[in-house]
Amino acid sequence: MMNENIPKHVAIIMDGNGRWAKEKGMKRSEGHKEGGKTLELLSRYAKKRGIKVLSVYAFSTDNFKRSQEEVDFLMDLFINYFKNKLDKVCKDGIKVVFSGRKNLLRKDVIDAMEEISAKTKDNQECILNICLNYGGQEEIVDASLKISDDIKSGLLLEKDLNRDTFYHYLYQDLPPIDLLIRTGKEHRLSNFMLYQAFYAEIYFVDTYFPDFKEQELDEALEYYKSRDRRFGGIKTN
């Protein structure tokens, strides 16, 4: 029963950290800190439920428009998480990969990202794909540039490019998203994994991300189970 109709790839738009904190009379940064704790337990729980890939939206290319203080706080939080949770993540058998552009990121952030990716690269049980300085349209543009290079140099033949082979040119070659969750009341995609979400079941939930824990993920998985996924075909039974 455990693995019955479990989505292979779950993606989460982790929204509502700021409002969670504000409603409690705390600073926005406290909400991000709490969100970090939630992410830690969710990644472990996702693995336990048999989810193979968990993608999370940690920082969008547009998040640089926030105050310098908030951007710095988030970057420090990321470094702290990558360094201090490293042993735990390794022990849990989780492989950490990143999606996004490296430009505009501080060197200490890039170093911490590279360290955790290198140390977890042989882990097989579950992939945690952290989207950082990420934009979905940017990813498609960047993939197109790589494709153009490969066609010019003869590494790729035009006839071999199709919607499946296109995945090899994205930041990470991951399976399509089966279940896309957005916490925190908004109903939009916000430039998140546009290519991979093409047939995703979408689950919007009012809960702010810091409160989206094991039980809330279970509820999202129940919702997924109840969906009838036909991928554009018709039901045959």
Note the residues at the interface with ligand FPP (CB under 6 A). 14-19, 32, 35-36, 39, 58-59, 63, 74, 77-78, 81, 130, 184, 209
The residue whose two tokens read 């509820």 is: 219
* Least distance (Å) between residue 2 CB and ligand FPP: 27
Of the candidates 15, 92, 123, 133, the residue annotated as catalytic is 15
Cβ within 8 Å of residue 71, ≥6 positions away? 63, 64
Nearest residue (CB) to ligand FPP, 147 versus 220: 220
Cβ within 8 Å of residue 167, ≥6 positions away? 173, 174, 195, 196
Nearest residue (CB) to ligand FPP, 165 versus 190: 190
| DSSP-derived 3-state class of residue 91 | helix
Q: Which residue is nearest to ligand FPP (CB)?
A: 18
The alpha carbon dihedral of 116, 118, 119, 122 has a sign of: positive
Q: Catalytic site residue 3?
A: no
Q: Catalytic site residue 173?
A: no
Q: Specify whether the CB–CB gap between 181 and 10 falls below 8 A.
A: yes
- Beta sheet of 126-134, edge-to-edge order: 94-99, 126-134, 53-60, 9-13, 179-182, 201-204
Pairing of strands 179-182, 94-99: unpaired
Of the candidates 17, 63, 80, 123, the residue annotated as catalytic is 63
Nearest residue (CB) to ligand FPP, 134 versus 169: 134
* Least distance (Å) between residue 166 CB and ligand FPP: 26
Nearest residue (CB) to ligand FPP, 31 versus 147: 31
Residues labelled as active-site residues: 15, 63
